[in-house]
Amino acid sequence: QKEVEQNSGPLSVPEGAIASLNCTYSDRGSQSFFWYRQYSGKSPELIMSIYSNGDKEDGRFTAQLNKASQYVSLLIRDSQPSDSATYLCAVIRGGTSYGKLTFGQGTILTVHP
């Protein structure tokens, strides 16, 4: 089982729709969860962090965490063509700030006009 696994892509949604990206992780002791966005040819950009069960909203982005199910998701509302990128789920294993940040394989999102 991979440490961090994302739903297989690529994902294509029409402009204005909700894009849903999903991620599961294997280490039940993990406490810190992140979503990065990576445009082609660029480095990853941190867009959301979540540490507690439930939802966390930031503009058009909502991160959802369910530790019991070891599941974290990212919803992008009113998707725009500029949201087209690879989205990486990442988890710090263990419960300290010194753990290793481990990435999923990424999901390519395309928002078409």
Partner 1 sequence: SAVISQKPSRDICQRGTSLTIQCQVDSQVTMMFWYRQQPGQSLTLIATANQGSEATYESGFVIDKFPISRPNLTFSTLTVSNMSPEDSSIYLCSVRGGSSGGSYEQYFGPGTRLTVT
Q: Which residues bind partner 1 (CB under 8 A)?
A: 32, 34, 42-46, 49, 51, 88, 90, 92, 97-98, 100-106
Cβ closer to partner 1: 34 or 111?
Answer: 34
Cβ closer to partner 1: 69 or 97?
Answer: 97
Cβ neighbours, 10 Å, residue 72: 27
Distinct helix (H) and strand (E) counts, the chain: 0, 11
Q: How far is the CB of 32 from partner 1 (least distance, A)?
A: 4
| Ramachandran area for residue 63 (φ above 0: left; ψ -120 to 50: alpha; else beta) | beta
Q: How far is the CB of 103 from partner 1 (least distance, A)?
A: 5
Cβ closer to partner 1: 7 or 102?
Answer: 102
Distance in angstroms (rounded) separating the CA atoms of residues 80 and 100 = 32
